[in-house]
Amino acid sequence: MGTPIQRPLVVVTNREPYVDERTRHGVRYVQKAGGVVSALDPLLRELGGDWIAWGSGSADRLTAPGGVRPVPLSDPKYRLHRIYLNPEEIQGFYTRYANQGLWPLSHLLIERARFSRRAWTIYRNVNLKFARRVARESPASALIFSHDYQLALLPSQIRQLRPDLAIAHFWHIPWPVFTVLRLCPQYQEILRGLLGADVLGFQTDDDVEAFLTSVERSFRHVSVDRQRRQVHWQSRVIEVRAFPISVDINALESIVRSPRITRWSRGIRRHLVHDGQQLGVSVDRADYTKGIIPRLEALREFFRRYPHRRGQVVFLQVVVPTRSEVSAYRALFRHVEQETRRINQDFGNNDWQPVLSVRRSIDRKRLMGIFRAADFALVSSLFDGMNLVAKEFVSAQVDQRGVLLLSETAGASHELEEALAINPWDPEGFAASLEQALSLSPEDRRVRMQAMQDHLHQHTLYDWATDILTTLEQVTAAYVES
């Protein structure tokens, strides 16, 4: 891969890159899916270093009794440090404060946000548990790369314990505007926590502007330089910049071109579409921010407004259960099943079902094969920091037959300009955009897809990681010199 990073690297995330799970046949070693793992695992394998995360696997303590596990087992390249949480910590830190408070608030779903002082206390203490492990395990003048809303207090806590460390923190989800942020009872503490970093990264320029406004409106003794994207805070300068996360398009193209996934992709088309039908796809966690119910309403509107398309379109939705400990997510999963059944009853017949559902996780390689097989993809997030599904679909489209319909409120829409924009709250407009997509010529589809793929080749996942870390190394060079 090649990287200019010279100083020791410590990655800190809520979720770990690998888990050990108990099965009937013994312990299974599983790599977790996700953009952060895809970017940072190969980076640490190249550079060496440490990854600190919550040890959530059922066999994690068995394989790492001292809390440290080499990665990979056969030829260790870096150390995974697992932090073990008890049930009360998981409930307060993860389920309640992070996922029932900060998550919906950041996605502008104010009515779903719930905060409690008990959960806040646990959240703060768990962040401190992470900070103490970072302080203990980090070499002198190391680069700390921490992540997301679960660990918002971490940068400041690390700085208090180890002022020699250089800290970059990346906020993966949207940053809420100030009038929404202040609904969080602890919003000033959240801001103070993040301002412990040397470099703060967000997905879009809009997020950066919203964060700078929040700082400006929250504290009297602070200086915000909007032109340079800097915050002057407690005799320090914090760089606040947009670093749009991406995908490893080269790796994804290799996956979908492999003989096995090529056969899988062709088999999907043979099995699902016939006589010139077009295959659509969506892939989402069963999360209310993903706009699954509004998408189904738009599909209903589409088949109502364009009856000539009945029988011509097959839509495959992959809905992966998530956060089943939260009742709102369980209810959403049931609601999706009900709405899907109604659409099929109202418009389908013995020979054709408009919406097919997969209600489980699909491994990454087969998922890429589904994306390659599709004629269009619907990414209809209500509000999203980036949405890497959109970029994965583009990467998998090596045949360049597909059309991407992308929510204009997803961060990816700022980059993938050749996608057809949709408003998830406008079912009539959504339906019209889908009709437009189905009517595009093969050449128009190819030109649009080629432009988006060119962009992803120029802005890869590794560019994202190295941009943040080289920025951190540059702005904190004085730490090493002193």
pLDDT of residue 329: 73
Per the CB < 8 A criterion, the answer to whether 9 and 470 are in contact is no
**Alpha carbon distance 239, 388 (integer Å):** 25
Digit-by-digit pLDDT tens for the chain (482 residues) are 555 788 999 999 999 999 989 888 888 888 776 667 877 888 898 889 999 999 998 999 988 888 999 998 889 999 999 999 999 999 999 999 999 999 999 999 999 999 999 999 999 999 999 999 999 999 999 999 999 999 999 999 999 999 999 999 999 999 999 999 999 999 999 999 999 999 999 999 999 999 999 999 999 989 999 999 999 999 999 999 999 999 999 999 999 999 999 999 999 999 999 999 999 999 998 888 999 999 999 999 999 999 999 999 999 999 987 766 667 777 888 899 999 999 999 999 999 999 999 988 888 899 999 999 999 999 999 999 999 999 999 999 999 999 999 999 999 999 999 999 999 999 999 999 999 999 999 999 999 999 999 999 999 999 999 999 999 999 998 555 55
Q: Please say whether the dihedral angle defined by the alpha carbons of residues 58, 59, 62 and 64, taken in this order, is positive or negative.
A: negative
Measured CA to CA in angstroms, residue 159 lies from 7, 51, 358, 473 at distances of: 18, 18, 45, 16
- Reduce the DSSP state of residue 392 to 3 states and report it: helix
pTM: 0.94
pLDDT of residue 421: 97
pLDDT of residue 227: 96
Q: Helix, strand, coil proportions of the chain in percent (round to 5)? A: 50, 20, 30
Domains of the chain: 9-245+462-477 (3.40.50.2000), 249-458 (3.40.50.2000)
Strand residues in 307-426 grouped as ranges (E):
313-320, 355-358, 376-379, 403-407, 420-422
pLDDT of residue 480: 58
- DSSP run (H or E) holding 20: strand 18-23
List b or e across 92-111, with b for residues whose CB sees 16 or more CB atoms inside 10 angstroms: bbbebbbbbbbbbbbbbbee
